[in-house]
A and B are shown apart, each in its own frame.
Chain A
Amino acid sequence: MPLMIWWRKTWWLFPSALAIMFLVMRNVQPVEGINPGWSVNWGWMLGVWNGGTLLLSPFMAACAAMVMIRDWPHGLREQIAVLPRGRSSSRHIFAVLYLQGLAAMLTAIGVAAVLCAWRGAPIESATLPWQLFTGPAALFAAVALGMAVGTLFGNLIVIPLLGFGVFLAHQLFFWSGFPELFTTEIPTWFYEDARPKTTHLMATVALNLVVGTGLWIFLNWLTRLPRMRPALLLVGCALCLSAALAIYLPWVIAGNMDTYERIG
Chain B
Amino acid sequence: MSLLRIALIWRLPWAVLLGGCTIGVVLALGDASLQLPMGVGPRLVRQAALLFLPLALSVLVMPPVPDLHPSLLRASTHHRISRGLFWVLMGAACAAGWLGAGITGTLLMFEVTSTLVLTAAALFLVPRLGGRMILTLTAVGCAWLLYGVLAAKYLGFGDLTVTDDHYMPEGSTLAWILLATSVIACLLASVPTKPTHRT
Contacts and interface: CB of A to CB of B under 8 A. Distances in A.
Tell me whether A and B are bound partners.
yes
Interface of A: 16, 20, 23-24, 27-28, 51, 54-55, 58-59, 62-63, 66, 69-70, 155-157, 159-161, 163-164, 167-168, 170-171, 174-175, 185-186, 188
A27 B35 CA distance: 17
A63 B141 contact: no
B59 interface: yes
A54 B37 contact: yes
Contact of A171 (B34, B62, B142): B34
Given A55-B146, A155-B59, A164 B52 contact: yes
B58 to A, nearest CB: 8
A159 B135 contact: yes
Contact of B142 (A55, A70, A188): A55
B139 A59 contact: yes
Interface string B40-76: 0000000010011001101100100000000000000
Given A156-B131, A160-B141, 5 more contacts: A55-B139, A62-B139, A66-B134, A156-B59, A160-B58
Contacts of B62: 156
A159 B38 contact: no
* Residue from B11, B38, B58, B142 with most neighbouring chain A CB atoms (10 Å): B142
B35 A58 contact: no
A164 B145 CA distance: 10
B134 A160 contact: yes
| A interface: dominant SS | helix
B176 interface: no
Nearest to A167: B142
B18 A186 contact: no
Contact of B132 (A51, A66, A160): A66
Contact of B14 (A62, A63, A157): A157
B161 interface: no
A170 B131 CA distance: 25
A55 B143 contact: yes
Contacts of B132: 66
Interface residues of B, number: 32
Nearest to A73: B199
* Residue from A58, A167, A186 with most neighbouring chain B CB atoms (10 Å): A167
B138 interface: yes
Given A155-B14, A160-B52, A70 B135 contact: no
A70 B52 CA distance: 21
A69 B131 contact: yes
15 contacts: A54-B37, A54-B146, A155-B59, A156-B134, A157-B56, A159-B138, A160-B134, A160-B138, A163-B142, A164-B138, A164-B141, A167-B142, A168-B34, A174-B37, A188-B38
A71 to B, nearest CB: 10
Contact of A27 (B52, B147, B199): B147
A154 B141 CA distance: 22
B131 A66 contact: yes
B63 to A, nearest CB: 12
Nearest to A168: B48
Contact of B199 (A54, A70, A185): A70
Interface in B142-190: 142-143, 145-147, 150
A164 B37 contact: no
* Residue from A20, A28, A164, A170 with most neighbouring chain B CB atoms (10 Å): A164
B139 A160 contact: no
Closest 5 CB pairs of A and B: A163-B138, A160-B55, A167-B142, A164-B52, A156-B59
Given A55-B146, A164-B48, A159 B34 contact: no
A153 B138 CA distance: 18
A155 B131 CA distance: 10
Nearest to A187: B37
A32 B138 CA distance: 35
Given A69-B131, A156-B59, A163 B141 contact: yes
A62 B138 contact: yes
